[in-house]
A and B are shown apart, each in its own frame.
Chain A
Amino acid sequence: MEISITFSYNTVFDCEVDDIMSMLSELLRNLFKKRATVLYPEERDKVHVPEGYRGKLEFYREKCIGCTLCYQVCPSYTIEIVVDEKGKRPVFNLARCTYCGQCEDICPTKSIHLTKQFEVISLDKKDLVVK
């Protein structure tokens, strides 16, 4: 029993001089630093979203020419082509969307745009359909 106590004292004492000094300096440096995390969702406005983020998509009907290229590149069958009074047009079901942005890239008239909106949750399925 005695042996183990002295052993543990020794090991603690050996570490103390150098390690506690370096630990203290690290501690003081970090005490006045900015916090690395964001308290989401309370600090929602502090979340940094860069330009060009691939979030919830927007669709501009007036620009669309009905070429259906977006439908051809979509990997997850998000897009359904329907016919309205102006011709063919896509309808997006965001519940299926993987936010890959291939439809935005291929659209020849830039009628699809992925916004910076990243909270795309809804209790109603109808809210997730972009027309």
Chain B
Amino acid sequence: MAEIRTAPLVVEFPFTRSLGPVQSAFLTGLRERTVLGVRAGDGRVIVPPAEYDPVTAEEIRDLVEVGSAGTVTTWAWNPAPRRGQPLATPFAWVLVRLDGADTALLHALDVPGPESVHTGLRVRIRWAAERTGAITDIACFTPYDGPGSGAEPAAHSGEFADPVTGITTPARLDYTYAPGRAQSRYLRALAGRKTIGERCPSCRKVYVPPRGACPTCGIATDTQVEVGPRGTVTTYCIVNIKARNLDIEVPYVYAHIALDGAGLALHARIGGISYDEVRMGLRVEPVWTGDGTFPDHYRPTGEPDAPYDSYKELI
């Protein structure tokens, strides 16, 4: 079997989210070492608080202050912490019902081993040294031998100076991208400065780049066909805004190019000609630079323009 092509792929976003009034009060409260809950329609105190009643879905806004100590309602021992988790050493995941609350909050419990944890264990919050108004303002929980107060939680206005109204939560996922058979064949050929399309056995259309299936017939494209290297500009646009990390002077032209023998157009940059001279029907050829594994851009061949009828089905 041919070598499988793979490449690292990192997906990373700093998700920016606005907060509702209840979430805003809760997360601002954490910054101020105050834990707030919200009273639901059935009288239960929900911590962490929700904007809407979990039973009736009605808006709930009555905030109360609960304790920073509580009781473990269930736990799980994590022997191998993973990236992003609250503690870097083995810890217990816990659901904790804080004193005054009727529901439980998920977090980490810092204990030396699983023998130190049991359901019913009393724990309290260890606050993070730097707090910004986020669930991570709770660094983790630690065992606590004090009793619960048993007191009814007191009403709280939810008002703080400089309330947090949004959070930014960075998220990163790492992948190994594998393009599959058809695209691997295409990329391998491209590295050898050949452009390979694949033909549908039913409708005979040649797809470039091939994705492995004919979207009209729903079957595998099974024959490799060398196309180009020359082709025709079928349509184009003029790019006026410089893309980040892209060292190309603007304005430049990005075009759809129907390579000779291809059943549809691929897209690439046009160079070697002023942006205002590019036109539909322009004949172009690929330009390879250095040891590049794909064409850097396409440039005019100097041939006469292709007549419109020769490429109108490929626009």
Partners in one complex: no
